[in-house]
Amino acid sequence: MFDGFQHGRVDLWDVTLCFQHSGRGPAVLLLHGPDRPHTTWHRVAPLLANQFTVVCPDLADPSRGNHETALDCVALMKSLGHDEFSVAGYGPAAHLALHLALTHPTLVERLALVAAEPPATPSPPAPAAAPAAFFPATGAPPAAEPPAATAPSTLVAPAPATPAPAAAPPAYNVSTPAARTTPATLGGSRKRRFFRPVLVVWAAGGGQSDPVAGWRPWCEDVRSVGIDGGRHLAEDAPEELAAALGQFLDHGTSPVS
């Protein structure tokens, strides 16, 4: 597997990443999801290595959330001397790739999302509820009253002796369940869009429809290409997938939907 590639290993702050790398030219990071190993790319990566420097990490630790894993990937690429690079995510790893692009938009040159369903559409935050002290049990706003009619204790609470520590921002609180189950909507990513070019690659066979519309809430400049093949495009149609990725990542063009 990974003919012509070299095996590498890098120790980061709290994890060791093993990876395969080869080629020269613009850097491309190939990501796999928890459902399939990094060898998912073993037939595609050597074809891309003819044009690019290909890095394929083994993201084998399922306990790490998408935010942690994105930071791991950035550290890996920087350790190899790549300050900018393109990213391709396969299957569920497309959500990881999107999160990496949303949180590091100046590092990711181009983004490819392969054989993946789009995440839930981001929704605007709900309006803040009025303080409970101003609403009776009926839920209706109270009638206007003279200030003396309202007990001061319902309006002003005594200040605590020691202020409670501020909660960590949701985007970085990776221990929460939401950080692991909603990768692309994690914290501040909910309000972000990626403005650099994006390619959605989908399996045109089997009655599937083009999912590009579902990615548009997250991506400004998005295009798509359908490839005849089964559910596992990297194994069923590696040449076609490598050709589509190569054309797009080489600052070329792809069919635009």
Q: What is the pTM of this model?
A: 0.73
Q: What is the mean pLDDT of the chain?
A: 77
The whole-number average pLDDT for the span 209-231 is 91
pLDDT for 151 equals 42
pLDDT for 78 equals 96
Q: Spell out the domains of the chain, with CATH numbers in brackets.
A: 6-120+171-249 (3.40.50.1820)
Q: What are phi and psi of 247, to 5 degrees?
A: -65, -40
Identity (one letter) of the amino acid at 175? S
Question: Tens of pLDDT along 77-124?
Answer: 999 999 999 999 999 899 999 999 999 999 999 999 999 999 886 554
**CA-based nearest residue to 90, from 257, 232, 214, 218:** 232
* Statement: residue 184 has pLDDT above 60: no
* Statement: residue 231 has pLDDT above 90: no
Report CA 237 to chain centroid distance, whole Å.
24
Residues paired with residue 27 on neighbouring β-strands, in sequence order = 53
Q: What percent of the chain has pLDDT over 70?
A: 69
Give whole-number Cα distances, 220 to 101, 152, 193, 197, 213, in Å. Answer: 12, 51, 7, 8, 11
pLDDT for 183 equals 41
Q: Compute the distance between CA of residue 132 and CA of residue 213 in angstroms, rounded to an integer.
A: 40
